[in-house]
Amino acid sequence: MILHIDMDAFFASIEQAINPRLKGKPLIVGSRGNKMRTVVCAASYEAKRLGIGSGMSSKEALRICPSLEFVSAEQGKYIWTSEQIFAMLEGFGFPLNYTSIDEFQMDIGAHPEPLKLAEDLQKQIYANFNITASIGIAKNWLLAKTASKVKKPNGVTLITNANLKEVLSRTPLGKVCGMAGKTGAILSTRGMQTAWDLYLKMPEFFEENPGKFNEEPEKPKSIGHSYTLPRPLENPMVIQAWIRLLSEMVGERLRHRNISTKTIHLWLNGPEIGNFGAQKTFALATSDSFEIYSRSLKIASQVPQKRPKIRALGVTASQLIPQEGLSLFLKQNQREGLIKALDRINSRFGDGSIYPAQVDLTRRVK
Ligand SMILES: [Mg+2]
């Protein structure tokens, strides 16, 4: 059985969770800071109910609802939250995949109570992050993903062989993965309006959809994160803040898997430097985010230009080894205690409740 978890209006919900003043209000998240000249990249359910949706111009959205709340997108925050949710879901002990920043798939095998498990997951997500998710459960990933769209927001839908016809008959074709665009439009002119119409013509599309979990999940050979900035930036403080954020994310994943890294690879891309990539192997393995950050900066100092413009950047850890139980170095031990405490607080309160103040600088980039 596959369980597909789809966060509801993810970016907008995060903004509402962080700022209670926005709760229950129609809200759009714009891709740029200028409220009048941007595109809606996420809308809260309150806005969706008024007919506002992503892809719409902010002007149009404001015409529909003049009192609309507006926040400009902060990618770092969404990536961060997504990572935290992934880590929390991993704690349930089932194989887990990312399908996008706000969608996760879990292979729950022959779990005896999939509905109860789904409700538990929803409760945990809400308790930790103050946002809701919709969950679909079915025998393969495509049906599970389709099921997650049936009752949004905060719904759970289980598709079995017994209710397959009933559920697919009331699911518009456009809600099936891959059918939202042209393909769906063409098929609908051929008389296919619902997912069930498509099923009758092409059952293999639903039935033989290869599971994403067929293979044993591999142990990672490297763990990395990269990010493309909205425009080239040269302020070293801001660039360092991004390296710090990416290092935090890499470190958090290493610690969650109880592994450390010896080799750090830093990648920078910009109009003057093109692709700069270099790695360095250190004697002592680490999973400390600050250490990963310091090592990344050492590599960054090899860039010949003084203040190069940076458009995209990435931090990757490789040569991964199991974490040792006790460190020989007292200072290291103290830091590890602190890191563990921070990880616990973050997983309890969600959304990086506590993270380095430096990371805040990444928010200033619009
Ligand atoms: Mg979603």
Domains assigned to the chain: 2-8+77-173 (3.30.70.270), 10-74 (3.40.1170.60), 174-207 (no CATH), 222-364 (3.30.1490.100)
Whole-number Å distance, alpha carbon 183 to ligand 1 midpoint, is 21
Whole-number Å distance, alpha carbon 100 to ligand 1 midpoint, is 9
Going residue by residue through the chain, which has 366 residues, state the pLDDT in tens, using 9 for 90 and above.
999 999 999 999 999 998 889 999 999 998 878 888 888 989 999 999 999 998 899 999 999 999 999 999 887 888 888 888 998 998 999 988 888 789 999 999 999 999 999 999 999 999 999 999 999 999 998 899 999 999 999 999 999 999 999 999 999 998 888 787 777 777 888 788 999 998 988 887 788 755 555 444 445 688 888 787 878 999 888 899 889 888 988 888 888 778 899 999 999 999 998 888 899 999 888 999 999 999 999 999 999 888 999 988 999 999 888 875 444 444 455 556 666 665 655 554 444 444 566 666 666 554
Q: Which two three-digit tokens encode residue 178?
A: 């891959």
Integer Cα distance of 120 and 140 in angstroms:
21
Whole-number Å distance, alpha carbon 296 to ligand 1 midpoint, is 33
CA distances from 260 to 65, 89, 188, 283, 293 (A): 50, 21, 52, 12, 14
Catalytic residues: 103
Whole-number Å distance, alpha carbon 324 to ligand 1 midpoint, is 38
Q: Give me the amino acid identity at 11.
A: F
Task: Give the pLDDT confidence score for residue 100 in this predicted structure.
Answer: 79
pTM: 0.60
User: What strands lie across the sheet with 69-72, from one edge to the other?
Assistant: 40-43, 27-30, 69-72
Q: Are 53 and 180 in contact (CB under 8 A)?
A: no
Q: Are 156 and 144 in contact (CB under 8 A)?
A: no
Backbone Cα Rg of the chain: 22
Whole-number Å distance, alpha carbon 56 to ligand 1 midpoint, is 17
Whole-number Å distance, alpha carbon 129 to ligand 1 midpoint, is 15
Task: Give the pLDDT confidence score for residue 330 in this predicted structure.
Answer: 41
